[in-house]
Structures are given as C-alpha cells and as structure tokens.
Chains A and B, each alone.
Chain A
Amino acid sequence: MIRAHGLPLAAILAGAAALMVFGLGSGSYWTIVALNLAMWIALTQSWSLFSGMTGYISLGHVVAYGIGAYVVAFSFKIVPLWLSIPLAGVAAGLFALMVALPVLRVRGPYFVILTFGLAELVKYILLNVETGLGKSSRLLFGAPKPDTLLWIMVGLAAAATVALYAVHRSRFGRGLDAIREDETAAETIGIPVVRLKVLAYAASAVIPGMVGGVMALRSTYFEVLQVFNPTISFTIVTIAIIGGAGDARGPILGALFLVGLSEVLQNASPQIYLILLGLCLIGCVLFLPTGLVGLLHRKGGAR
C-alpha cells in the first residue's frame, strides 16, 4: 500500500502557481482548461479523503457539488459570493453529516449503489422544488469572470490537496487506514470507527460543495439536471483509478491525464476519446492497480 509519500507543501504551492500562470497567461481558452483541471483535482482529492482512505467507494459525490451549486445559485445577488461559496461548502458538509449514519451502515457494492441512488434522489427532489417554485433554470447575470473564478478554484484544489496530505499524516488518517484494511479489527482495537467514517464522509463533501458553487458561476446559469449529472461522480472515480488514490499526487496525475486526453480528443473525435478512456481504465485496473502514482513509486524503488 502506498501512503504518506505525499507532496511537500512547497510543491503544492508551486503547482498551484504554475496553474495560475498557465491559466491567466495563455488566453481565455486556456483559462477554462486550467479551471477544469483545478476543478477535477479539487473534487478527486476530496473524494480520496473519504473513499481512498476508507475503501468505501462513493459513486455519488456529485451530490455535494449539486447542493453547493444550488446554494450559490439560490442565494445569488442576495448573499455576497465571499459568503455564499463557503456556505455552499457548509451546506454540502452538513448534508453529508446528516445522511452519513444511515448511509455508512452498508459496505462494498451496496454502499456504491446507495451513494449513487442518494445523489439521484436529491437531484429529483430539488428538481421538483424548483418546478414548484416555477423555475426551470436560473440565470446568474453578472457572475465573476473566469479569471477570478480560476483563483478560487486553484485555491480549492490546493486546499483539498493539503487536506488530503495532512490527513495521510495524522492519527485520523491512520484510523481511516485501519478501517479500510479491516473494519472489525479496527473496532476491536478501540478505533472509533463510526465517528471517523462520519467525519471523513462529511469532510470530503465540503470542498466539492464549494466547487459546485464556483462552477455554477462559471456556467452563468443553474440547472438541476446539469449540476447533479452523475457523469461528474463517474469522472471523479475514473480520475482516482487512473491516477491512483494512494497519495495526494494520484488525483493530480489522473486529472492531468484526463483533462489532457479530453483536450486532445474530445472535440476532434468524442467516440475515440471515450474508447481510449475505457481502455485506459481497464488497463489501469489490470496492470496499474495503484494508478499512475504507482509508477512513481516503482521508479523510486519505494515499497
């Protein structure tokens, strides 16, 4: 198992700075590419904080993203953005905290299906709420420019990376490791398994909530079906599998790979993009179970 070989803080800051320079200095097209890259890094690092650490695979992380987007869209022009974006994170975290106890009672494939279903459930509830309010979508006029949003998103990506890095090194992280390895054994030796799982689940929803809020501003309109699109959940898991969820570098490598591949191929030939992505996934599962980050470890001769 690969752990604790995270990134030093300086490298995280340097990476974030590079992303900013690239995003702001190369024209508006690349600003959006950099924004997407930062978004996937932030989402996958957060997902990793719970699913990578505990082995409970969440296939519904979009629920936090969607709730965050809704909070920002709903409160747009009512509450200032410096407040509504953090509120989006708090709302997503509180929601996760609320559902954590019942959801975390199941494991393995049941948990995967439950998280997926939960995201769909929230999606349709909000869809009905919006319909009831007479809103099929909300336009967000006067949202900040992509340049501004890039600053926030890169900040979120860096924060998510630092958080995962810190958890890896903490006692909290060791407890989560033990849960992943053998939950009953962890309980037997006195690890507060329920508390740790609930905390990790809630913590992993906070940044995705803020990311969802920022992305609603980025698209300048809000539509329930769009922000609760299950493809977002699938892509997070895809990035984690390709990059590796073992340490904080994995999601970065995975996001670089996925965003790169999609830039090269998605517009030119979306079919080939999907075929290649599928092949990469299968290839990683078969030959690189620790993801791209596993290659670094092999090269470095680490265990």
Chain B
Amino acid sequence: MSSPPISAKTTMRGRTTMSDFFSVRDLHVGYDEVRVLHGVSLTAVEGGITAVIGSNGAGKSTLLRSLCGIVPIGSGTVSFEGRDVTDQSAERLVAGGISMVPEGRWIFPDMTVLENLRVGAINPRARAVKDETLQAVMEMFPRLRERSSQLGGTLSGGEQQMLALGRGLMAAPKLLLLDEPTLGLAPGIAKQIFKILPDLTALGLTVVLAEQNVSKTLSIADYAYVLENGGIVLEGSGKDLLGDDAIRTAYLGH
C-alpha cells in the first residue's frame, strides 16, 4: 500500500477555498469540572467537507454540540459568515443557517416521517422554502417518500439516519454539522451514507463531519483534523492524512 486511494473530491477541491465562512478559534468546553476540549481551532472548507476524526471520547461530539449551541462554550470564539456567533442559542444558530444532525439521530419516534421533516423547517428562513426543500429531500432519499406516513420510530437504523439528515436539511442550512452519521449502521448502509455526503456539497452546502470511520471519511474529506484528548494533534487534506504514517498506524491498523 504505497499510494493512498484517490480522493473522490480532487475535482471539487479546485473550487473550494479556505475562508472565514466558518471558523473556530481556541475553543475550550467542559461539563462542570470535566474539561473536554482545550483550545480547539479549525476552519471549515467553504462548499466542501471538513472532517474531524478521532477515537471514542476524543471530544468530537462535544465539539459539534458546542458548535450548534446545545453545550455551552467555556471560552474561545466561533465565527460564521464573518460574524461572531460564539454564545448564540441553538435556535438562533439554526435560524442563521447552521444545522446539526446529532449522533444517535434523535428523530421523533412518534411522529410520521413527513411530520419529522416538516418540524425541521421551523425557522422563518426555512419556512419560506419548505416545499422546495421537502421536494429536494424526497428526491435525495426516495426511501423517505415511500415511508412518509410511517412513524419515525418504526424505520430501520439507516432510514432513521436518512430521516435525521433530511430533517437537518429542512432547516435550509448553509453549514451542516454531522455527528457520526454512520454510527451503529450496517456497513452497506454506512457506504450509502458516505456516497450521499459529497452530493450535499454539490448543493452548495458546507459540511463539518465528525466520524470514527477514518479511511472512508478521509477519502471524501477536503480537509481533516485529528482530535485526540480534546485537542487537534494533526491536520491536513484528506488525501495527505490517508498517506500519513501516524494516521495509518493509529487509526487504520497498518
């Protein structure tokens, strides 16, 4: 294994730029006494996929949850489209265009698929375009259209993930935060999800993806950060990191 797999996004990378679209500076986050993140900084590739990889407990979920406003930020700054959004509530962040698809999906089990999707478009900006968005989501996930009147809780794990993704898209986001979208899914389904993610950027979305599945993630990521014990220890393009010896021994097992 000398040459890493070719990134699916080599063509895409040509038109993506590092910018101040979304960046995080020196973020410290903790729960009560326990400090989880110490000084995390990262910049999202506008219109591309930025990955945060790391093992269980490294702080990936905490990072994403603090970015979407459901875990309070201790110190540091988060800026989005040139504005400081550090201490904004989840409601305002979603209204402003940051949407989170949480780990474990968190769909509403006793609502139908359609109701789950509709409730995702509750912010005023999303409401204005909700019919078009719903159409687009149904096209992206034909499975959801088939099951639109079924209760969310009766869907399979993969379908629930699609529903969570669809619900996140219904908020008409500019930035999508995805927390372990393939966690607990069968490998075949996980593969499907990884196939869909690049399509999201083709719609003009910027994606920040936290994942444990390192090789798959790096192969679709434009840029990636490795999070360990609450700090960034390594960063680089997906392609470079796939070829990195430290990554290969620590995460890929060869």
> Which A positions have Cβ atoms within 8 angstroms of B?
1, 171, 174-175, 177-178, 181-182, 184-193, 303
* Alpha-carbon separation in the docked complex, A182 to B118 (Å): 16
Partner of A190, one of B91, B108, B109, B111: B91
Query: Complex formed: what's the CA distance from A182 to B153 in Å?
Result: 12
Contact of B106 among A174, A177, A184, A190 (CB under 8 A): A184
* Residue-wise interface mask of B (148-174) relative to A, using a CB-CB cutoff of 8 A (1 in contact, 0 not): 000100000000000000011001000
| Given A187-B90, A190-B171, A174-B110 contact (CB < 8 Å) | no
Complex Cα spacing A190 to B120, Å: 8
Asked, given contacts A171-B122, A174-B119, A178-B119, whether A189 binds B107 with beta carbons under 8 Å apart, the answer is no
Residues of chain B with a CB closer than 8 A to A189's CB = 94, 99-100, 119-120, 122, 167-168, 171
- Given A175-B122, A190-B91, A190-B122, are A182 and B70 neighbors across the interface (CB < 8 Å)? no
* A184-B70, A187-B70 known; A192 vs B119 contact (CB < 8 Å): no
Answer whether A190 and B99 are a contact pair too, CB < 8 Å, given A1-B110, A175-B122: yes
Given A190-B91, A192-B91, A174 contacting B100 (CB threshold 8 A) = no
Name A1's closest neighbour in chain B (CB-CB).
B110
Q: Is the CB of A174 within 8 A of B109?
A: no
Contacts A189-B99, A190-B99, A190-B122; A178 near B90 (Cβ below 8 A): no
Residue of A nearest to B102 (CB): A188
CB-defined contacts of B119 to chain A, threshold 8 Å: 174-175, 177-178, 186, 189, 191
Residues of chain B lying within 8 A (CB to CB) of residue A177 = 108, 111, 115, 119
Q: Which 3 A-B pairs have the closest CB atoms?
A: A190-B94, A185-B106, A1-B110
Is residue B36 contacting chain A, with contact meaning CB distance below 8 A? Answer: no
- A177-B108, A181-B108, A184-B106 are known contacts. Are A191 and B91 too (CB-CB below 8 A)? yes
- B227 is an interface residue with CB less than 8 A from chain A: no
Q: Is B221 an interface residue, CB under 8 A from the partner?
A: no
B229 within 8 A of A: no
Q: Using an 8 Å CB-CB cutoff, how does the interface string of B81-98 with A read, 1 for contact, 0 for none?
A: 000000000110111000
| Shortest distance from the beta carbon of A298 to any chain B beta carbon, whole Å | 16
A174, A175, A177, A189: most-surrounded residue (chain B CB, <10 A)? A189
Contacts of B123 in A (CB 8 A): 190
Give the residues in chain B near A174, CB-CB below 8 Å: 115, 118-119, 122
Contact of B95 among A178, A186, A190, A193 (CB under 8 A): A190
Alpha-carbon gap, A43 to B122, bound state (A) = 30
> Cβ of A191: which chain B residues have Cβ within 8 Å of it?
91, 119, 122
CB distance from B120 to the nearest CB of A (A): 5
Contacts of A184 in B (CB 8 A): 70, 102, 106
User: In the complex, what's the smallest C-beta–C-beta distance from B72 to chain A, in angstroms?
Assistant: 13
Considering only CB atoms and an 8 Å cut-off, how many residues of chain B contact the other chain? 26
Q: Select from chain B the residue with minimum beta-carbon distance to A174.
A: B119
Residue B68, interface by CB 8 Å: yes
Q: Which residue of A lies closest to B149 (CB)?
A: A303
**A303→B95 CA distance, assembly (Å):** 33
Shortest distance between the CB of B236 and any CB in chain A (Å): 30
Cα(A182)–Cα(B167), bound, Å: 14
Nearest Cβ on chain B to A190's Cβ, whole angstroms: 3
- 22 A/B residue pairs, CB under 8 Å, sorted by A: A1-B151, A174-B122, A177-B119, A181-B108, A181-B109, A184-B102, A184-B106, A185-B102, A185-B106, A185-B107, A187-B91, A188-B100, A188-B106, A189-B99, A189-B120, A189-B171, A190-B91, A190-B93, A190-B94, A190-B95, A191-B119, A303-B151
Question: CB-CB < 8 A to A186: which residues of B?
Answer: 119
Within 8 A of A (CB), among B196-227: none
Query: Nearest Cβ distance between residue B59 and chain A, in whole angstroms?
Result: 18
| Interfacial chain B residues near A303, Cβ < 8 Å | 151
Chain B residue at minimal CB-CB distance from A303: B151
Q: Does B110 contact A181, Cβ atoms closer than 8 Å?
A: yes
Determine whether the beta carbon of B68 is less than 8 Å from that of A185.
Answer: no
B contact residues around A187 at 8 Å (CB): 70, 90-91
Q: Which residues of A contact B102 (CB under 8 A)?
A: 184-185, 188
CB A131 to nearest CB in B, in angstroms, measures: 44
Once the chains are docked, how many angstroms separate the CA of A189 from the CA of B100? 7
Contact residues in A for B120 (Cβ distance below 8 Å): 189
Interface string of B104-141 (1 = CB under 8 A from A): 00111111000100111011000000000000000000
CB distance from A176 to the nearest CB of B (A): 10
Minimal beta-carbon separation of A39 from chain B (angstroms): 31
Question: In the assembled complex, which residues on chain B have CB atoms less than 8 Å from the CB atom of A185?
Answer: 102, 106-108
Known: A188-B90, A190-B95. 16 other contacts (CB 8 A): A174-B118, A174-B122, A177-B108, A177-B111, A181-B108, A181-B109, A184-B70, A184-B102, A186-B119, A188-B68, A188-B70, A188-B102, A190-B122, A190-B123, A190-B171, A191-B91
